[in-house]
Amino acid sequence: MTSQDYKLATQLIDKAGQLTPTWWVVHRIRAQLLEAQGKPIFEVEAAFAQSIRYGDTDINQYHYANYLIRNDEYERAITQIEATLVHEEALEIALRSVRD
């Protein structure tokens, strides 16, 4: 992606956040966009935390755990995976494979 693509994507996710400020998907995508742009870890983690706060789902926990793994934060990733497995709808096989 070019810097122009990131700029447009950021504008669109900001607009989505204005329209639906508590929709967890917006915050998860914001976190992924920030990560892709190489933004500071505290910005990425704040977006993931907000996503989880608005929607404590297996999907959010899974994406956050993968982000932590990519950043060599294995203990914290395991904590997220364990938190995910309490969700009845969690895809246990996929999550367990990330943990193992």
Q: Give me the amino acid identity at 76.
A: R
Which residue range forms the structural domain that includes residue 52? Answer: 3-99
Look at residue 96 in the predicted model and tell me its pLDDT.
Answer: 56
The number of domains in the chain is: 1
pLDDT of 70-89, one tens digit each?
Answer: 999 999 999 888 887 776 66
Distance CA 27, CA 12 (A): 12
Look at residue 97 in the predicted model and tell me its pLDDT.
Answer: 59
Question: What mean pLDDT is reported for the chain?
Answer: 87
The CATH number of whichever domain residue 63 belongs to comes to: 1.25.40.10
Distance CA 68, CA 74 (A): 7
Angle at 26 between CA 20 and CA 32, to 5 degrees: 165
pLDDT-derived band at 56 (thresholds 50, 70, 90) equals confident
In the chain, DSSP assigns E strands to: none
